[in-house]
Structures are given as structure tokens and as C-alpha cells.
Chain A
Amino acid sequence: MLLSIITAEDHQTRDQALAKLCESLEIDQLLQECDELDLFRRESSNLYHRVRAIFFLQAIYRFHLPEKLASQDTGSIPFNGYQKLLERHFEEAIDAFLLVQHNFGPSDAICSALASAYHQLAFQTLANQVRKSVRTVRGNQWMFRMGHPEDHPLRIRRELLEKEDHLFPILCERTPVRMDLTHSAWSDIFFLGMDFPRGAKVLNVSVDLAVQGSNQPPRPPVEAYLRMIDQPVLRLTSIDLKATTEIHSLGEVFDFAKDHLGLLKAAIIASGIIPPGIEGSGTSLKSLLAKIAGQGRGIELISSVNNIPKGSRLAVSTNLLAALISACMRATGQTHSLTGELTEKERQIVLARAILGEWIGGSGGGWQDSGGVWPGIKLIEGEIASEADPEFGISQGRLMPRHKVFNHQEIAPDARQALTDSLILVHGGMAQNVGPILEMVTEKYLLRSPDEWNGRQEALALLDQIIEALTQGDIRTLGKLTTQNFRGPLQTIIPWATNHFTETLIKRVSQAFGEDFWGFWMLGGMSGGGMGFIVDPQRKQEALTTIQSLMLKTKKELEHALPFAMDPVVYDFEINEHGTSGEFHRGSEATLPPAYYPLHLPNRLQGPRSKLSQTDQAELTQFAHACKINPAFHSSIESLFETILPTQSHLNSGNVSLKELLKKQGFDQLQHEQIRKNLKEGRIGLAQNRLAQNSIIRDVRETDVTNFIDRSPHPELVKIGENALRAGEVAVITLSAGAGSRWTQGAGVCKALHPFAQLNGKHRTFIETHLGKSRKSGREAGTLLPHLFTTSYLTHNPTKDFLETVDHYQYPGPLYLSPGRSVGLRMVPTERDLRFAWEEMPQQLLDEQQQKVRDSLREALIKWARQSGEAADYIDNLPLQCLHPVGHFFEFPNLILNGSLAKLLQERPQLKTLMLHNIDTLGANVDPALLGHHLKNKAGLTFEVITRRLEDRGGGLALVNGKPRLLEGLAMPREEDEFRLSYYNTMTTWIDLDEILALFQLTRADVFEGNLDQLTCAVRQVADLLPTYITLKEVKKRWGNGQENVFPVTQFEKLWSDLSSLSEIETQYVVVPRLRGQQLKDPAQLDAWLRDGSASHVASLCEWQ
């Protein structure tokens, strides 16, 4: 049945939704369909039929089968299949998983593995096709054939080789960026244009920019400069990133992540100067340069982005790449003219090369992103593949879209001016990864879910209306339509296109401007970064300042909850009617941007003047002259001195406050030095985290756990639980001291405060959701449930302030924060640990080019670790980013040490049970049956586990040398051991208060007394029983204009679940439903979380008021 939908010719059949068709199918029927789909996708020669079949399989295994399977079937995932998955051998992985399914029947576990394998196979298939198409675009093909310098067919144009006053002339390319009025629901994804060309439409505008208040007129924000040099090297400089390098070998050109010059290298390659076909040929760069530029000559390429931060959603990096490629193509005669605008054909080839460059550099954008290359306002559309196209017979559409530039009759100058007069273009300051959103769009498009498919049609209809409004110069209507687009199709397809920051901002702008606020406009893939507010032109000036201050205010309120890379900015802008454009300067006119010179002159000034080459001398003279007469160079001398002699205060400022912070947080220097010593001597480290190799790890027996899945709760247990609740004997502890490293890729915000999703029509933070559950549980039991959030140096003040701002969400019960009492200082990792993590542990291989970039980055990071000093203090960042929490074991002891437990006991002397859980375990509530089970069995600790899925990595419930316990992934002696385990640790733990105090050899009286020495000693004794793990975490370092680098750092941890290994406390395990136990670790999980019923389940557990 499902096959006929894929192969149908008519749209009506073809566009049916998978979910609807699967609803009525039984398990056996679904499995039958899967068999047919799998056979079909193996045999079909039609790429898009194949990909759609794979996405169908992925969706069935991810959503439809698990829903119908009896979820108590634990099942297992074969390790060899997992390994194949990591190695990107998807076909073999699928075969391994299918074999298990065939032999043992379907299970939740194997479904998760198959879903993951099909998901990755689908995207790999699409990526392969895009890559193939990029290579086969006419004008790109020759670059993959060229493998020897003697065959190099390009030559530098003569004009660039002729010096004047000892200086080579300079070629300058200035390029606007693009803002998309609508992308018709992300229809600029390559494969969408190729599969559904009639639905791939983008309206985008080329713009010049200036940051508001900079007193500069708008100008093309992206510039590339090229000139010849008298050395056989490639000299690359990024002025805005303050990075420069001289490349002497071919290998370095293809080493993208070594420095911040990957984009320039990609341009050199994609423009054909160093064609991709020559990679790995062993050729010398010198001979290659000699062939194209003449003996002894080299090329200098410089990029400059004028004050536009990363994440602007204006496709700055793609347009910069296009500018660099254009300059290189002009220099090598690949364009007709050295200066001025490009012809349409040349623009097309620049686009093809920019797509190629992005692929080479391991990144990727949409096909509209090079829009700045074209002038003014244009409609970019998918194009049906014709016989002459390499895509013909493979896909309906071409890789390369068609650009229709609107002339001034179609959109009159008045209309363009009206748009300029009403639009406030901003960067909200958030920097987020759009990648997962684009994957979601792809998947949803292929599954044709009705809401999303209708949304796509609606977005296409809106595009026509937006063009109509623009041609009429009716900006008020345009604002209405862009808002409708944002509220309607965009959020229907991807709810994550919006966020709490954006919503708050829209609300506040709307309140400030009422009827004069005409509309909101999301730029690019998601909101929070580049955005537009359309207002009555009469109020534009006022709006510029008001919106700036509203953004700053909102950012200030949310900066600990959401990842902001910078303060928000407002832009002045103008429509650029030229597109990319070249200039040629010689002699005294041939100067580079003022900021170039402080980067290069200090090196040249080091030696005696007599040793300077004639060219260097001429350049120095020219710079000196420019400083005298050119206003743009007035501050250059100052910058030059700043580069040569950086001021002392600037160097020291970070460290002073770090020292203060360490002191304040009770940092234990002695312990730190001991860890450093042990690390350096190899006594501790990633490899040493593991249990001894001769440890026997087995899956637990049925008798080791109590199964609570799909079992009607025993009335007796429910009653026990309800009684305890009613008597006020229970409290909840939510662990919220962490920064959610995976949630924001180390951005250092409080995960607890993250408004992660809309529940009941409003963005909810993790804290609000947990309080919502406690509110409901308390009400149902007729009691006020105490709720305590543990915090750390990083999260305490923001959490406290935030809760005050929201009036503690009007939580009726006792609500406490338990501040951390211990902190560690991060260290530079050892090379040994980095190599262990990256070379000895199984790794998810990336797509070929991305893997190359990652390998290069890792080599650079290993070099950084060696140069910075292995196990040295990590202090080269903001002070808060240098500290680390020391593991969630300490969260409970902290309650004892900081007096929170005493306070809680004062409030609830009858308190007997604590439910402790992670901030991201959203389904965990005070379930009376589970509570009753815990109480009835009189266990000290009752740990909740769930059946394992592929993504549940990092340990589980195991029989270790015959004893059941929770075993951390870090401690697994062998990687494959984890795959024998049926259950994954949720971290949710029911704690008998008196039992655990007994473990610490404390009584309630000791807790009340609060003798810190006694309490500290008690904590240390238990801590000593637990292993210390060394871990690598990723930490972001922000710099420049919204730029971010991610560094691996070493820290140590003691973990809560290791308490299960102690014989001093009685421990038991219960298997709970996945909806209760699953954790939200990564924003990329959110969409599936919403679709598989988890979100509505969580919402059903909460009461918000």
C-alpha cells in the first residue's frame, strides 16, 4: 500500500500523509509494509523514490511501531550493528538490526536502532546526490579532473601582474548580503528544489548595512581583496577575525579547521586556483603558483566583514565566500570583466562555486544564500531539469535555481523606498544551530504530514501575495503577510522557529507601537538572530531606538536562560541594486582596509629597514601617507601600537575575577593539585575511569527489577503512596546545577531556565514544568508538596533572580534553592585523554568532507593542549566558563552542608521520602504507586530505569560480578558491555531520608545542629567510597563579533548512581514507562518529543496555575 504512494504519478495520491495511513495498520501489517519498503529502496533506481521509502521506514520504526508494540519487550541492539552505524556503513547496520528483528521479533530497542540507521541513510543519500550534482555543474567539472600543475589551465590576468610604484594592484570585490522576505517554508533546501521545483521559491533582497549609531552610511558588508605577492605562497587574512597565515604547502590549503581561515581556503579551492582534484597529489604549491602566476609569485587573499556578527541570518558567510570566489575568478580570467557587476552566467557559476565551497568546507546553506551576488529584489525558483542538465532523469529539478531580478517597472523605486522606510532590521543576539531544523523540514516534507503539507502550500500562496504587496508598495499588507507566514506555516511546520525571546519581543513591540506595528518578519532558518519589525514609517526613527532598548531589556532578562552570543543590534540598511561588484586599484590608490595593517606591519617592522623588500618598503610608505591624508586611517597608528604593545590591564582583567570567584566558591586548591598530579602521571584519566578488564558485566535478571510498565498500579501501593503524600512526608529534589552542556553546546546558560517548548500555548521553562507537576500532585493529594532545586555557582543567582521575576510561578508549596558547596577548576586536557576519546573510543564518523574538517580541528586542539600545557589550569575564558560542578553525587550532600535540608525538615518534620530527579527528566512526577512501592519495600534507594533505546548511551543497570548496580558508561570495561544491558538509568531516585542519613553516619539532629566540620567529614567519608571520574566537556569561548570556539576541557566528577554500588544501603530498581523516564538532552530531540506524544503526556501531568 505504501509503495503505491511513493510511485504514484498523480499528486493527490503521492501527497498522502504516512501517519494517517499507518493509523489503521496492525503490527504485522506494518512489518509487512516495512519489508516491502526496504526491498523497494534497495532496488529502486529513482533517487527520490528511494529516499522517500527510507524516510517512511524511519518514521514507522521511530513512531508508528513503538506505539503499537508492547513496551515491556526489552529487546537488545547488536553491538556490531551499532559499530557499523558509527562507521557510516548504514546498509550493513540495517542488515544487522533486521537480522535481530527477524530472529527475536520487533522490540522498542531494535526499532530505535533501525529508525536511527534509516534516518542517517536518508540524509547520506541526499547529501551524496547534492555533492554529485555540485560536481557535475558545468563550469565546476574540470576542477575535479585537474591533478597536476602542468595541466593547470588558469592564468592570472596580466593587469594584476603589473606593478606601479613597486606595488601590485589590488582587486576588491564588494558584496551585499541577502535578506529573505520569505523562503516559502525553508524551500531553499537543495533536495527540495530538486524533488519539488515548483514548490521551491524564495523572495530575497540584497542589502547594504551599517550598525545603527555607528555614524556610517550603509555599505556592502562583505569585502574580498586579492593581490599578487613576491613570494610563492598563499597569504590569507581575515581582517574581522584578526587571523592571518602564510600557506607553503598544498596540504595546508585543504586543512580547513586548523585556523579561522577555512572560508578563504574553500574560496581558493572552489574558484579553481587550487582545484579540488589536486588534493593529495603531493604536488608543490610553489610549482602550482608558478604555473598560474609566474615563477616566485604568490597570491594574497583578504576577507573583511564590516561589523556584522555571526548568526545574523543574512547569509554573511555564504556571501563572503561568494565575494572571495568572485575575486579569485576575476583574477584568473574566469569572468569577462575585472571590474563592475557580473553577468548572469557568471553569477550562476559563482553560486555553483559557493555551493561547492560550502561543501568542501564542511558547512552548507540553502541555494538562496548567495543572493547577495545578484542585485536588488529577486525571486529565486527551482528549475525543472532539462535534458542538458546533469540532474535529468535523476530528479525533477536542477540543483541550480533560476533568478528573476525584478526591474524598476515591476517593483517601483517608491515601493522599494517604502520598504526601507518601514523595516527595522535587527540582530537579536541569539546564535543557534539551524541544522536540526533543516533536517526536520526535510523529513516532514517527505512524510507529507497533513498539517505540514498544507502549511507548505499556504507558504507558497503567501509568497505570491507578498510579491503583490511589494509591487503595490503596500508595506502594511506586506507586514501582515510576513507575520501570517511566521505565525501560520512556519510554526506549523517547525514550532521551534520561534522562541520565548522572540515572542516576548513581538509582544513588547506590539504594546509599544499598537496599530503602528505592521508586522514581524523572520529572517533565515529560525528567529532570535536576524529579524525584521515593520512599522509605520512615521514612527521609524522612534522605533529604531525603542526596539533596540526593548531587545536589550529582554536579552538581559533571558540571558541566563537562552544562548546569546552578543548584545542585540539594529541595522541601518539600503537595498543594493548592483549585487557583487569589483574594483581595481593601482599605485597610491591600491590600499587595503586600515585594519589590515596592524595585523601585518608589526612582523615587517621587526627587522632593519635595509632588509625590507622594495614592495614592503613601498607599502610602509603608502601606509604612512594614508595615515596622514585618509580619514579612514586616522586611528590605524594607535591600533598598530596596540598590536605591538598590548596594554597590561587588558591581559590581566579575566584572571583577577577568576581568583576571586574561586575563593568565593570554596575551591579546594589542595585537591585540585592532587588531581593535576595524578592526571599528569597517568594515574587518573579517561582510560582509568573503567572498571578492571576482568570484571564480569551481565544484564540483570528478571528478579532484579520490578516492572511498572503498562501494569495497572496495585491499589494497595497507590494507597500507601497517597497516604504518604497526604501526610506531607514527601519532597521533590530537582537537580539543576548544570549548565546543560549538550543543550546549548557549552554556552554556559542555565538549562533549568530554558523556555524549551510551548506547552498549553506558552513557552515553559524546565523549572516551570517541574513545578507544574508538583502543583498537580500536591493538589490531588490535598497537600503542598515541597520542591527543592539544587543550584551551583553558575546557576544559583540567575535561578534565584529569575524565580523572583516570575513570582516563583505562584507555586503554593515550599520552594527552596540549594546552592552548591563545591567547585572545580577546569584543566587543559592531556593529549593522552584527547587521543583516547577521539581515537580509541568508538566515534560517529561524519560525512566525508565534514570528517576531514573534524580531524583537522582535532589535530589543532591536540596541538593547543600541548602548547597550553597538559593539565594546566584552564583560565583563558570568562571566569564562569573556567569553573565546573563536581558531579551530581554532591548535590545531596550539599543539602546537608548548606542548611537546605535542615530548613526543609523544619518546615516538614514528618518528611520521610525524597524524590530526586534530573532537570531534563520531564515525565518524572510523584507517582503514588511508585512511592508506595518504595515505601512498602523499605528500600534505602529506589532507582527508576527504562528500557533502552539506541540513543540511551552512558550506562545502565548491570550485574557487575554478580551484583546488580547502576554502571556509568565511563566505567564500562568494554564498549560492547553496554549493549548487553536492557535498562537505562533515568537518575530518578526515591530516597529514604533516614537511611541515607545513616549512610552518612548522621542523624536528623546532626543536620539541625549544623556542625560544619562534622558534616563535611561525613560527606568526605562517603565521597571516598565512590570513584572519581575524569571527563571531557566542551566549553564555548566567545570572541570577536559573535564568534565562538569550542574547546575540550578536563574536569572531574563523582556521580550519584554509584551509590548503588555500596552495600551499606539497600537499593532496588523499578522499570518505568519511557514517557516517565526519558531525558531531554539535546534540542534536536524536541521535535520527536512533540510528535511521539511525550509533550502532551508531560502537559497532562502539570497544572500551570
Chain B
Amino acid sequence: MKIKKAVITAAGLDQRHLPLQTLVTPSGETKSVMSLILDEIFSTEIESAAIIITPESQRDFIVAVDKHLDRVTFIEQEKPLGYGHAVLQSKAFVEKEPFLLMMSDHLYLSQSETPWLKSLLSVAEQTGCPVSAVQATHESKLPYYGAVAGKRINGKADLYEISAALEKPTPTLAEQELIVPGLRSGHYLCFFGMHILNDSVMKYLEKSFEESPDKLPLTPSINATAKSERFLACEIQGLRFNIGEPYGLLRAQLAMAFASDQRDEVMSSIIELISSTKS
């Protein structure tokens, strides 16, 4: 199967201005976060993207998407009813086709030669299954992420078949339900913020929303899909930056700077700053 569409969620109450933040890329260009995400998406065979936004924020995003405006559709989420609800808003846009789901407040830096997104798309295309990007994460970060349990697929070091997915589990529950052989003690496969989802997930989202219209998270629908059909998790070796958390943007910027020609200059500035600042 070919993935031709992407959905980016940007409707969080605190996300309105994040994609507008700018960063200097390793090649020295200044770009908005949203523009960087779209660059990565459109470097693959994906043809169009929908951005889920809060009402009346479209004007800001038009600026942020920059040159990709003609391939982007804006969809407003009227009420903040959860991440799953934001995804559900894209139902008409995706038209039952599999699609890439990403978050606008996360930036990724690949540590392998094949870019992370290409790896993920390739898995989905080869297996025909929905796939979530995951990363082995220490249990202290469990309050922030969904996590999965699964079995490693023979012959594939980074691929797992998901048997269960739980939203922000406590370590107590994680230890009982989410132990994955081969991971270091106290580490779990947590979502990395990227998924290739299919129509089954949309159906479960719809069903859940009918049953409980107040709040619609995404993870239970992934869990339900994984119980009914093959759903994979692909372990990504990369860095993730949540630009919404304190100093998240700074860390992302530093990571990009260290990957550029300006590395030495940036490092010496930091050292100078440290030595001249009172602790």
C-alpha cells in the first residue's frame, strides 16, 4: 500500500504558537517548526497533508507552512476533546486511506542513515499494516506517553507486533502488562508521536466517540485495532524534541546546531556562557 496523505495535529490549547517558532537548520536556513515538519513529510511520496487546528488560528498557520501551502488542508477542531478527537476530524480528508499521523509540537532528528519517516513508511508499505513509531523509554517518562506491549518479529530487530496499547500507564500496570523481552529493565516501548493509521482506527475512534463523547484519546482505539488485526510497532533510533516543554525548543535548536558546520562555534559560545555565568 502507498501512503499518500498525512495528518498533523496542532489543535492543543498550548500549541497555537509553537509551530510558528523558528529554528536555524543544519544547512543554515531559518524555518518555522511547521515548515520543517512538512519538508520532512513531502520529501517522501506523500502528496498532501491536513493540519488540525484550533478555530480562528488558520492565519498564523498559513504563514508557518510557507511554501507548502498548496498541498495543505486546514481542519478546525471546534472543541478540545482529546487527541483521538483531533484525529477523527480528518476522517473526510483521509477518505478511508491509510495515512501518516504526526504532532506539530514534536521535532525528530534521525540518527541512522535512512531518515526515520522513510523507514516507517517503508514498513507500512511492505507489510500493509498500521504501524506506530516507538522508542524504548525509561519508566519515569510513562506519565507522558502511550506505551505498547508486543512480540519482536522474527528476523526484524526493530519490529514488534503490538498486543496491547495503554495510555500513560503507571509503572505498576506497565510492569504487569507491557514488559517486552529484550528491553532494558525499567524501559517500555512508548509512542514516538508518529503513526501510520488505517480506516479501522478511524472506525474505533468513531465508535468510542459515540459511547463517550466527552473525551476521546487515541491510544484505546489503537489498542482495539491491535486486538482485531495485525498492528506493528517500529522502534526508531532517533532524537525527539518536544518543543512544548520548557527548553524543548532550545534543545532542538542545539541539536540542529551540533549537526551543522557551526558546531564548534556554538559549543565555544556555550562554554563561554557557562564560564561567565554565576551558578
Nearest-neighbour CB distance to chain A for B277, whole angstroms, equals: 22
Residue from B170, B176, B186 in contact with A138 in the complex, judged by beta carbons closer than 8 Å: B176
Chain A residues 342-370 with CB under 8 Å of chain B are 345, 349
B175 contacts A139, C-beta separation under 8 Å: yes
What does the 1/0 interface line of B127-147 toward A look like (CB < 8 Å)?
Answer: 000000000001111110000
What does the 1/0 interface line of A317-349 toward B look like (CB < 8 Å)?
Answer: 000000000000100111000000000010001
A153 contacts B173, C-beta separation under 8 Å: no
A241 on interface, CB distance cutoff 8 Å: no
B139 contacts A153, C-beta separation under 8 Å: yes
Nearest-neighbour CB distance to chain B for A12, whole angstroms, equals: 39
Q: Mostly helix, strand, loop or mixed at chain B's interface?
A: helix
Nearest-neighbour CB distance to chain A for B70, whole angstroms, equals: 42
A153 contacts B170, C-beta separation under 8 Å: yes
Known: A138-B179, A142-B175. A333 touches B140 (CB 8 A): no
Residues of chain A contacted by B172 (CB below 8 angstroms): 139, 142, 272, 329, 334, 349
B115 on interface, CB distance cutoff 8 Å: no
Chain A residues 154-183 with CB under 8 Å of chain B are 154-155
A141 on interface, CB distance cutoff 8 Å: yes
Task: State which of A144-152, A424-432, A947-955, A1037-1045 sits at the interface with chain B.
Answer: A144-152
Residue from B138, B142, B176 in contact with A345 in the complex, judged by beta carbons closer than 8 Å: B176
A334 contacts B138, C-beta separation under 8 Å: no
Residue from A145, A153, A154 in contact with B185 in the complex, judged by beta carbons closer than 8 Å: A145
Whole-angstrom CA separation of A1094 from B11 in the bound complex: 84
Residues of chain A contacted by B244 (CB below 8 angstroms): none
Whole-angstrom CA separation of A349 from B174 in the bound complex: 12
B173 contacts A334, C-beta separation under 8 Å: yes
Chain B residues 149-195 with CB under 8 Å of chain A are 170-176, 179, 185-186
Whole-angstrom CA separation of A141 from B139 in the bound complex: 11
Residues of chain B contacted by A143 (CB below 8 angstroms): 171
Whole-angstrom CA separation of A140 from B138 in the bound complex: 16
Whole-angstrom CA separation of A140 from B174 in the bound complex: 11
A152 contacts B170, C-beta separation under 8 Å: no
Nearest-neighbour CB distance to chain A for B219, whole angstroms, equals: 14
B140 contacts A153, C-beta separation under 8 Å: yes
Residues of chain B contacted by A151 (CB below 8 angstroms): 138-140
Whole-angstrom CA separation of A780 from B140 in the bound complex: 81
Residues of chain A contacted by B186 (CB below 8 angstroms): 142, 145
Point out which of A142, A152, A345 has the most chain B C-beta atoms below 10 A from its C-beta.
Answer: A142
A333 contacts B170, C-beta separation under 8 Å: yes
Chain A residues 1073-1105 with CB under 8 Å of chain B are none
Whole-angstrom CA separation of A151 from B171 in the bound complex: 11
B140 contacts A139, C-beta separation under 8 Å: no
Residues of chain B contacted by A153 (CB below 8 angstroms): 139-143, 170-171
B170 contacts A334, C-beta separation under 8 Å: yes
Chain A interface, number of residues (Cβ within 8 angstroms): 21
Find the A residue at minimum CB distance from B168: A333
Point out which of A139, A151, A153, A333 has the most chain B C-beta atoms below 10 A from its C-beta.
Answer: A153
Nearest-neighbour CB distance to chain B for A108, whole angstroms, equals: 51
Point out which of B138, B142, B172, B174 has the most chain A C-beta atoms below 10 A from its C-beta.
Answer: B172
Known: A139-B176, A151-B138. A332 touches B170 (CB 8 A): yes
Residues of chain B contacted by A150 (CB below 8 angstroms): 140
Residue from A138, A154, A332, A333 in contact with B175 in the complex, judged by beta carbons closer than 8 Å: A138
Residues of chain A contacted by B185 (CB below 8 angstroms): 141, 145
Whole-angstrom CA separation of A728 from B246 in the bound complex: 99
B171 contacts A349, C-beta separation under 8 Å: no
Whole-angstrom CA separation of A140 from B186 in the bound complex: 12
Residues of chain A contacted by B138 (CB below 8 angstroms): 151
Nearest-neighbour CB distance to chain B for A770, whole angstroms, equals: 59
Residue from A146, A272, A333, A349 in contact with B176 in the complex, judged by beta carbons closer than 8 Å: A349
Whole-angstrom CA separation of A372 from B172 in the bound complex: 22
Nearest-neighbour CB distance to chain A for B113, whole angstroms, equals: 33
Nearest-neighbour CB distance to chain B for A297, whole angstroms, equals: 16
Whole-angstrom CA separation of A203 from B58 in the bound complex: 66
Residues of chain B contacted by A334 (CB below 8 angstroms): 170, 172-173
Residues of chain B contacted by A146 (CB below 8 angstroms): 139-140
Nearest-neighbour CB distance to chain B for A86, whole angstroms, equals: 37
Point out which of A138, A146, A150, A272 has the most chain B C-beta atoms below 10 A from its C-beta.
Answer: A138
Residues of chain A contacted by B174 (CB below 8 angstroms): 142
B173 contacts A155, C-beta separation under 8 Å: no
Nearest-neighbour CB distance to chain B for A134, whole angstroms, equals: 14
Known: A329-B172, A334-B172. A155 touches B143 (CB 8 A): yes
Whole-angstrom CA separation of A383 from B62 in the bound complex: 63
Residues of chain B contacted by A141 (CB below 8 angstroms): 175, 185
Residues of chain A contacted by B179 (CB below 8 angstroms): 138
B140 contacts A152, C-beta separation under 8 Å: yes
What does the 1/0 interface line of A112-147 toward B look like (CB < 8 Å)?
Answer: 000000000000000000000000001111110110
A142 contacts B139, C-beta separation under 8 Å: yes
Whole-angstrom CA separation of A142 from B139 in the bound complex: 8
Whole-angstrom CA separation of A145 from B172 in the bound complex: 12
Find the A residue at minimum CB distance from B185: A145
Whole-angstrom CA separation of A272 from B170 in the bound complex: 10
Nearest-neighbour CB distance to chain B for A269, whole angstroms, equals: 14
Nearest-neighbour CB distance to chain B for A886, whole angstroms, equals: 58
Find the B residue at minimum CB distance from A333: B170
Whole-angstrom CA separation of A277 from B138 in the bound complex: 16
Find the B residue at minimum CB distance from A150: B140
Whole-angstrom CA separation of A333 from B170 in the bound complex: 7
Q: List 20 A-B contacts (CB under 8 A).
A: A138-B175, A138-B179, A139-B175, A140-B175, A141-B175, A142-B172, A142-B174, A143-B171, A145-B139, A145-B186, A151-B140, A153-B141, A153-B142, A153-B143, A153-B170, A272-B170, A334-B170, A334-B172, A334-B173, A345-B176
| Residues of B that sit less than 8 Å from A by CB | 138-143, 170-176, 179, 185-186
Further pairs besides A272-B172, A334-B170: 12, Cβ < 8 Å: A139-B172, A139-B176, A140-B175, A141-B175, A145-B139, A153-B140, A153-B142, A153-B170, A153-B171, A154-B171, A334-B172, A349-B172
Counting from the closest, the 10 A-B pairs by CB-CB distance are: A151-B140, A142-B171, A139-B172, A334-B172, A334-B170, A138-B175, A153-B171, A153-B142, A138-B176, A139-B176
